[in-house]
Structure 1
Amino acid sequence: MVTPSHRREATAYLRTTYGVSERRACRVTGLPRATQRYRSVADPQHELRLRLRELATVRVRCGYRRLWLLLRREGYTVNHKRVYRLYPDEGLAIRTKTPRRRRSCRYRTERPQAGTPNEIWAMDFVSDALFNGQQFRALTIVDCHSRESLAVVPRVGFRAFNVVDVLEQLRAEHGVPKTIRCDNGPEFAGQVLDQWAYFQHVELDFSRPGKPTDCDDAGAAGPV
């Protein structure tokens, strides 16, 4: 079976060797002139679409405006209207109703394993109570490769800036990892931690909706 690419080569050979016109060469080879003149056009937004999907996979709670801001931070010269158009085209529109649990796996691919120490950290909260019944939480941070407990910090109330304070202390002692795994709680998913991670070049890897076990590495530190 002769493919169009073979016919196109034969057409080019006839024109080059015998000097015949394009019309006559196409008639001899049986190649439609439209096929002969066709030139594939690469999608100029392919790279943008790819990066948009990657960001949406990690930032599962972000809408198109937040993803547009992240793209701008990375140097993409794109306005929010284009991201708004691409967002549903890539199947990224967030449903207004809570998705069924069987659909949660679509938000994330398999997580890579930490290959070296200080590459991936995991952080989470554990809850406990004092002898008088006072409830408190402890922020636990674990190195996913060495299993070392980097921090167990108890507080009666935690805010996002308290989490950043702990990370700043660890940065002074250990540096920063490439990735920090955490859940979608308000202390982690807000703009305070996002801004810190951006300036420290740290990727925040959020757990899947309804899958708190994604942060079991940090929870393994246990209650204090």
Structure 2
Amino acid sequence: MSKKRRQFSAEQKTKIVLEVLQSDSTLNQIASKYEISPNVIQNWKKQFLENASIAMEPSKVVKEYKAEIDEKDKEIEVLHKALGKATIELEFVQKKLVSLGSSNKSLVEPELEDINIARQCALLEVNRSTFYYKHIDRSFENDLLKRRMSELYTEHSELGYRMIYHQMKDEGFKVGKNKVLKLMQELGIKSIHPKKKKLTSIKSIEHETYPYLLSALRNDKKQVVAEHANQVWSGDITYVPTAGGFMYLAAIIDWHSKAILAWKLSNTMDTSLVCDVLEEAIYKHGTPEIFNSDQGSQYTSYRHTEMLKKHNIKISMNGTGRSIDNIAIERFFRTLKYDDIYVRDYRSVTELRAGIGRYMDYYNNERLHSALGYKRPMDVHMNQVRIAA
């Protein structure tokens, strides 16, 4: 017998959509909580936003929902404090019992997230100073190797692990091919070649696509060069992993100044996400001559393309499967992840959003960019915009 399909009232749908919009839970977490497909919730959100003038009226449902969530959050917090730490530590010690023949020092796991090194040493009766002395040397060496790998990869994203190995060997680093490959995997980097973009670019057969206009801006090295600020903007969406699932980060970069003009983090990847970012960028920085993106359904949507046309912005799109055509924003996302997100390991969406905000401010206003002659992206952008005005 087939499972009976669940029915949800309008109030129940509204309550769930409000949770998507207001909470810092991922879409997958909310879908799992209510045992609904994420796609169904995303459709409800779309309907809700399309009828916002009606749906957003203050209602009893909203008030009751907030009160219910506040009460449950307090109960959960008490339970977590009482049981969480003890349970994690018990599991850790039980796991180590099977390795009693090993040195206690070798049982310490530096990468373990739930129990810090100091607490692990206490549970295993290991002298902290002994552990740290040997571990720091190893970590420092790996940090140096990773830093140079990241620099090489940022400059030449087409390099694979073999070429990076030979380059580092030529520079005097003592490292083998296998270690280079392992550290690159830890960094999450691999050579970029023209190929199908797997994740966020989902083409819609119903939407019109546009030609790639940036080929006309290539120099003799076949690199796209924008001569001034607001000549070319690039937009894209990237996945950001969290403990509870993926969030989606949309951003717009100025191709010349490398400044991030607007960004937004969301638990759903839809047209509203990219339109909100475009609207903010135009409001703060005026309009570009050309806007480039991939052929994803969010960017080819009627709403997004009409916003561009309304402001007389030329629409440019990557060739099919050519994420390298949008390399400016691709490189920024990689820098953000390797310099901040993967290093900080944010434990909640609230922390993630605040952390990305701090990094965006640092990147735009403090970080010196080598491609700009070691100038700050937003300084370059604003100075050129003022001169043009």
TM-score (norm 1): 0.50
As a proportion of its length, which structure holds more helix? 2
Between 1 and 2, higher relative CO (CA 8 Å, sep ≥ 6) is seen in 1
**Richer in strand (by share):** 1
**Normalising to structure 2: TM-score of the pair?**
0.29
> Which one has a bigger Cα radius of gyration?
1
